[in-house]
A and B are shown apart, each in its own frame.
Chain A
Amino acid sequence: MSDVTTGSEWEVVVGLEVHVELRTATKLFCSCPNSFGDVPNTNVCPVCLGLPGSLPVLNSRAVEMAATVGLALNARVQPSRFHRKNYFYPDMPKDYQISQYDLPICAAGWLDLPDGHRVGVERAHLEEDTGKSTHLGGGGRLHGSDGSLVDYNRAGVPLVEVVSAPDIRSAEQARSYVAELRSILVATGVSDGRMEEGSLRVDANVSVRRRGGTLGTRCEIKNLNSLRSLGRAIEHDAARQVAVVESGRQVSQETRHWNEEGGHTVPLRSKEEAFDYRYFPEPDLVPVEPPGELLDRLASEMPPLPAERRRRLIDLASEGRQPSRAAEDQVATVVDLGLDDLVLGAASRGASTRLALARAANEAATDPSAARGLSVESFAKLVSMEDSGRLSATQAKAVLARMLGEGGSPEQIAASLGYEALDPSQLSAAVETVLATNGAEWQRFVDGDEKVAGFFVGQVMRVTGGKADGRAVRQVLAQRRLDSLAP
């Protein structure tokens, strides 16, 4: 996707607010399970329903996770307190949200994109999620609907809201920022990163300006449920804003809703209609000051982050040479899916890094959760079997698919699929059979047409039922040509 402002005098300026549901066992202020997809209104209690008389008690695990996010984003983890954000909405049990305002738990960090661009992180704060409304009729929105159903299972689920600085300059960078943030959150175990389930939700603040000019008026875009929506919405709204300014009008500050089907944004509420949240310090909670020892422990428990893991794998795979774009993509995929330990493990057991990376990024990646369950030994064995010619590439892929689907050792699976290695005499016999029936092609090969080798490999595969190893066939062919040319 190319950016609307690429090459033009216009520049798009984007800041992102990413809401991350923390993977705590229980909710932020009560002991109800934090669990997605349960029967509606079953994970509720007086506290998360905001019943009269109930009081919040802060989940210390959520504080630890928020601090971990801060440490991973190079932020200052600081003494903080909670505020109430007051507004009416049917899925908000207390009609206020407990959030953080002037003193967020994390401040002043940054995130480096894979391309090296640094995006500032202004703050990351803790807050509670709302319930989830389903509006019947009226296009799925509250206004104009016939009725609404509210599920409060999500009410009180802990969120960290990560607010970036307006340092993002394209839709592509915005997607890259969210993807990298998501990888970090998954790597640190604070989030499952599932955008489709709403465990990662993004709002984009978008404005446009003439390159080098002062910042324009921003619009906040909501309902961005995928990286694709995020990119499209920024592209679209930047183009809309440029058109507004070029026609001599002014962009008005407002909140806009991304319409995925229509591929455009529509106004939700103007600045004048914006809520006055009447923030004030939450009197039911005490200030939170993560102690230094806790931060030390969290820092020491911090797993390697995606950037470092990519670097490690690239270094290994490129063996000191400039890594290819393809290898970089494979590494990115493997790290993103958490399969890098599998590849590193296979490499440390002597398997080919290049081949392990390819199998992980292409085949294993089709079922990442099964792939993460593979034993390093089995995966290393599979890669070595392919590397040594014991299995053809086609066979190795089939064996891996079976390993992912049903489990088992590669040797057993290869045997059960009938992938017996051909002994040299069987292979020679198969080659002779093929050469005998394809005399013209053989002459072309003898005359130096290397492309015909592929044809013979295919034919040998056919007569051996796929058991032959392509490289072994090529070796036999080359030897046969040498023999035939010999005086």
Chain B
Amino acid sequence: MTTAADIAGSVRSGQCSAVDVATAHLDRIDQLDRSLHCFLSVDRSGALGEAELVDRAVAAGRDPGPLAGVPVALKDNLCTRGTPTTCASRILDGWVPPYDATVVELLRRAGAVVVGKTNMDEFAMGSSTEHSAFGPTCNPHDPSRVPGGSSGGSAAAVASGMAALALGSDTGGSIRQPAALCGVVGLKPTYGMVSRYGLVAFASSLDQIGPFATSVADAALMLEVIAGHDPRDSTSIPSSPAAVLARLSDGVQGVRVGVVDELVEGASAEVVSAVSSAAEALAKAGASVESTRIPACRLGLSAYYLLAPAEASSNLARYDGVRYGLRVDGPDVEAMNVATRTAGFGDEVKRRIMLGTFALSSGYYDAYYGQAQKARTVVLDAFAAAYERFDLLLGATAPTTAFPLGDRTADPMSMYLSDVFTIPSNLAGHPAVSVPWTTGGDGLPVAVQLLGPALAEPLVLRAASVVEASAPGVPPPCGDFLPSDGTRSALPRQAVGSGSDGLPREGPA
């Protein structure tokens, strides 16, 4: 398996060219994405142009940076100057940002090559990527299943080798849950660790950008590039982030790990068993592991489904047809607003705007929004108490493996429950990572989740490395839509010979 670190190493040393790496990944996108639909847009010429700049820098003896020539996919809620940013919504039809998100600037400065923008649930509202206005993404391990969401396109793109790394955003689990369902590593950093400038807001107090990678080390590599204070984001943490990569293999000797009952409860048997096995692996590596309870975690889901929609109802007010994006005309400005928003937003987005508007309304504020804020404080306090006894917490990422497409779209509550284990970290603003453990009986990936207190990314990822090393692992997807040799290589010489036999031509339902 070729990692992002390998690619950057080869490109920086001149062993292979960034243009060749980019071409191989773009060709792979051409071959696979008709079936998987990970991307909403692919900028071939832009990517090749960036790759060429990397090659020229290497030729001129300049270091293009730690992600030299690494093909990266971006969730389509990250602003990219000059290329569409849709949030998988019709409402942003035709809008092209005049600026790059801070993370995009940082990636480019580190030598990364942006291959395209990935599919997602509209405005990041969902857990399956089925709420995209442009059709769902398929899980590379089984195209009849969802990839999770809302960052499903990014997760599936990395899982299927179309990009070596990807960025997603995580408001209630939108990085970790699709990472779990697609068998890749997904990290939600501490709130404020990564600048949100240029991330189209869903719920500002919960949103955080983070990496998808095929290994913990690659996730750490990407985190080091995107983390850091940004004067354009007032909620960005002022201090410089601690180094992660340097101490990644320091192990967990003496680290106190709590296995949280509430973060396993109700999960399928194979998920429960994965968490126990991961706990054993950590114990074997020298951690002291014991089971614990944090009952406040149960408040998370209901608090989240008031707070996130409340903020969203305000964040999404600007899509009114006046300045950019879709406009459906009406006899007066109010009618135009209504017609535009009716046509431009999908059902899930409308549902949450209405929920959030209601939660903030005069006479209901205290009972809903106010009460949810109190619950959030209770969750935060409960974690603070837990972190007096433990350095890290362990639980499941998602209650089940990837579910069939269409299975939960008719029942919003069942969809919302997909995030029950991931939401508490967003409410607390703490870092958490999903690490693939193995494949379940149905051949689908099963993952575990490691959680830490604010700024504990170095320790969380060290433990994730231990889990990764002990895990039976998730083999690369080998569906019949993949090249016959099943390679996931990013390096051109290996990828070019893979051929396209066996690729189905029909798109997902």
Q: A residues near B, CB below 8 A?
A: 46, 49-58, 84, 86, 88, 90, 93-96, 142-143, 148, 150, 276, 278-280, 283-286
CB of B205 closer than 8 Å to a CB of A: yes
Cβ 8 A contact of B360, one of A49, A57, A280, A283 = A280
Contacts of A57 in B (CB 8 A): 231-234
Say yes or no: A53-B97 contact (C-beta < 8 A), given A93-B318, A285-B234.
Answer: yes
Complex contact A55–B196 (CB within 8 A): yes
**Shortest beta-carbon distance from A287 to chain B in Å:** 10
Complex contact B198–A53 (CB within 8 A): yes
Cβ 8 A contact of A283, one of B311, B318, B362, B365 = B311
Complex contact A96–B369 (CB within 8 A): no
Question: 15 A-B residue contacts at CB 8 Å?
Answer: A46-B97, A52-B85, A52-B201, A53-B78, A53-B101, A53-B199, A53-B201, A55-B196, A55-B234, A57-B233, A58-B234, A93-B318, A95-B318, A96-B314, A280-B369
CB of B87 closer than 8 Å to a CB of A: yes
Give Cα A56–Cα B332 distance, bound, in whole angstroms: 31
**Shortest beta-carbon distance from A160 to chain B in Å:** 20
Contacts of A94 in B (CB 8 A): 317-318
Cβ 8 A contact of B200, one of A53, A56, A88 = A53
Complex contact B79–A53 (CB within 8 A): yes
Give Cα A378–Cα B369 distance, bound, in whole angstroms: 66
Complex contact B97–A51 (CB within 8 A): yes
Contacts of B362 in A (CB 8 A): 276, 278
Give Cα A53–Cα B320 distance, bound, in whole angstroms: 16
Contacts of B365 in A (CB 8 A): 278, 280
B interface, by DSSP: helix, strand, loop or mixed?
loop
CB of B409 closer than 8 Å to a CB of A: no
Nearest 6 A-B pairs (CB), nearest first? A95-B317, A283-B205, A278-B360, A283-B204, A52-B200, A53-B198
Cβ 8 A contact of B233, one of A51, A55, A93, A279 = A55
Q: B residues near A, CB below 8 A?
A: 77-79, 85, 87, 92, 95, 97-99, 101, 196-201, 203-205, 231-235, 310-311, 313-314, 317-318, 320, 322-324, 332-334, 337, 357, 360-362, 365, 369
Say yes or no: A88-B197 contact (C-beta < 8 A), given A52-B87, A55-B232, A285-B234.
Answer: no
Give Cα A51–Cα B77 distance, bound, in whole angstroms: 12
Say yes or no: A143-B332 contact (C-beta < 8 A), given A96-B314, A278-B361.
Answer: yes
Complex contact A55–B197 (CB within 8 A): yes
Cβ 8 A contact of B317, one of A51, A96, A276, A285 = A96
Complex contact A51–B324 (CB within 8 A): yes
Complex contact A90–B234 (CB within 8 A): no
Contacts of A276 in B (CB 8 A): 361-362
Complex contact B234–A88 (CB within 8 A): no
**Shortest beta-carbon distance from B20 to chain A in Å:** 33
Complex contact B314–A86 (CB within 8 A): yes
Complex contact A88–B320 (CB within 8 A): yes
Give Cα A178–Cα B362 distance, bound, in whole angstroms: 32
Contacts of A143 in B (CB 8 A): 332
Contacts of B97 in A (CB 8 A): 46, 51-53
Complex contact B318–A86 (CB within 8 A): no
Contacts of B235 in A (CB 8 A): 283-286
**Shortest beta-carbon distance from A40 to chain B in Å:** 14
Say yes or no: A284-B314 contact (C-beta < 8 A), given A54-B197, A95-B320.
Answer: no
Contacts of B231 in A (CB 8 A): 57
**Shortest beta-carbon distance from A271 to chain B in Å:** 12
Cβ 8 A contact of A46, one of B92, B98, B361 = B98
Contacts of B337 in A (CB 8 A): 88
Cβ 8 A contact of A53, one of B197, B311, B324, B334 = B197
Give Cα A395–Cα B158 distance, bound, in whole angstroms: 88
Contacts of B234 in A (CB 8 A): 55-58, 284-286
